[in-house]
Amino acid sequence: MKALVVYSTKTNNTLKLAEALYDTIRYRKELKSIDDNPDPEDYDFIAVGFWVKDGKPDPATMEFLPKIRDGKEVFLFATHASPRDSKPIRNAMKIAKELANKGRILATFGCQGELSPKTMEKIAAQDTKPAWFADAPAAKGHPDEKDIAEFVHFFNTNCI
């Protein structure tokens, strides 16, 4: 079996999870940025990590997911400022699953991730703030070691 761990990241939160997952996988594997435009046809198992923008996977991930075909095994994971089981992450995962619907989705995992100070300042200055912004301060320092350990355990329990 050959595995691909592909990630899209804006603040390196998703990269932290992708690297932990890559270290966990015991068969032939590659870790690639979504910006490298990897071909999912070359792999049997594909883990796709992304950040959430406006309740959806980021634009690069939205373009990548439909390229997954032929019943390939897929694990989706995401980082976001809102709590793990919040409406934005549930919506983003729903969209991600729909876009990757030709693959066989094994599981999904969402993890809080800290926003950059610049992004926090930019949103704080807006007259109208997104509903999830109230949760953003709680994401500071995430993903942390505990989050990463939970992520690896979840993967090992649900995907191997």
pLDDT of residue 71: 86
Rounded Cα distance between 74 and 37, Å, is 17
**Does residue 26 carry a pLDDT above 80?**
yes
Residue 60 Cα to chain centre, angstroms: 12
Rounded Cα distance between 83 and 85, Å, is 6
134 Cβ contact partners less than 8 Å away, ≥ 6 residues apart: none
Mean pLDDT within 114-121: 94
pLDDT of residue 11: 94
Q: How confident is the model at residue 79 (pLDDT cuts 50, 70, 90)?
A: very high
Strands (E) across 34-153 are located at 45-53, 56-57, 73-80, 104-112
Q: How confident is the model at residue 146 (pLDDT cuts 50, 70, 90)?
A: very high
pTM of the model: 0.96
What domains can you pick out in the chain, each with its CATH number?
A: 2-158 (3.40.50.360)
Task: Name which of 154, 75, 142, 152 is nearest 115 in CA terms.
Answer: 142
